[in-house]
Amino acid sequence: MNASAKQFTLAEQIGIWVKAARAPFLVTSAIPAMLGGIIAFAHGSFDWTLFSIAFLGIIAAHTAADFIDDYFDYKNGNFANKDQQFHDSPLVRGLITDKQVFVAFLICIALALASGLYILFAVGMPILILTAIGAFFVLFYTSPPLRLNFRGLGESSLFFAFGPMLVFGVYFVLTQSFNWSPILASIPVGIFVMNVGIVSNIFDHNDDVKNNKFTMPVKLGQARAVQILTVITALAYLFLIGSVAFGFLPVWSLLALLTAPMSFKMVSLARNYHDLSQYQPAMSQAIGVATLGGLFMVVGYGIFILTQ
C-alpha cells in the first residue's frame, strides 16, 4: 500500500518510524558508547553533559546510517531478506516514501553534526579526526561513490565503527587522553557487532550476488564466511581472556563470556544458510551477543568501580 493511500494515527506513525530507524539495532552503538563512558568514569574523568551530547550524536549518526542504507537499497532494488529482518522495513512495504526516508536521514545527520560541533568546541581539534572518520563510515557504508558494503569492506567497517571508533572515541571525548584499556575492550565488542553484519550477509548471499553487492560471503563463499565467523568469534573471547589475564581489563569483564553459548548457537544456525527460516533465529543470537556481550562488560566495569 502506498504511504499516501492511508492516513495513520500518531501512534501508528511513531511505530512506523521506529521500525524505519531499525530501533533494535541501535543498541549496537548505544552499548559501546556506554562502555567508553564507564571506562572513562573508572579512570576518574567523566562529564555528564559531554557524555549525553556525544551519546545522542552517536545514536543520531547510527540512525542516519540506517536510513541511508535502506534508501539506497530501495533505489537499487536490493531488498534481500528485509521481510525477515527485525526492522521490517516500512519503506519496502510502502508505508513511507523514499523521499521521506532521505529527509529523515538529513535530519539525523544534522543532529549528529551539531553534536560533533559542540564537542569540537568543548574538547578541541583532536576530536575532529574522530568525527571525520565516523562521518566517513556513516556516509559511505552504502552510499555512492565508495559504497563500502558493496566492495567487501562492510563487515570490517562495522568492526571499526562500532568497536574502536565508538569505545575509544567516547573515552577520548571525556578524558582527552590515550589509554589502551578502551581500545582493548573495544575489540571483542567490535567483533560481536561485526558478526551481526556477517550473519546477515551470509543469508543475503544470493540476493547480493544478483545486485552486484560484493560482501565478504559473496567474495569468499558462504561456507568460508561461516568458517571466518567461527574463528573470529573464538578470537573475541580469547582476546578478552588475554586482556584480563595481562591486567588491561578488570576481571569482571569476563562476564561477557556468558554469551559464549549464544555465539555457539549463532554459528550453528549460520551453517544452515541454505535454509532461510534460520535467518531470523541466527540474527537473534547475533544481536543478542552484540547486546549482552557489551552490556556485560559495562556491568563488569560497574562492579569494578563499586568494589574499589
Domains belonging to the chain, first-starting first, are 14-306 (1.10.600)
Closest CA to 110 of 67, 171, 162, 150: 67
Q: What is the pLDDT of residue 1?
A: 45
Taking residues 35-52, report their average pLDDT. Answer: 95
Q: Which residue has the cell 536510513?
A: 67
| Residue 8 pLDDT class (50, 70, 90 cuts) | confident
pLDDT in tens, 139-180: 676 666 666 767 777 788 889 889 999 999 999 999 999 999
pLDDT in tens, 219-257: 999 999 999 999 999 999 999 999 999 999 999 999 999
Residue 2 predicted with pLDDT over 60: no
Q: What's the predicted TM-score (pTM) here?
A: 0.88
Is 201 within 8 Å of 219 (Cβ atoms)? no
Taking residues 4-12, report their average pLDDT. Answer: 72
Is 3 within 8 Å of 100 (Cβ atoms)? yes
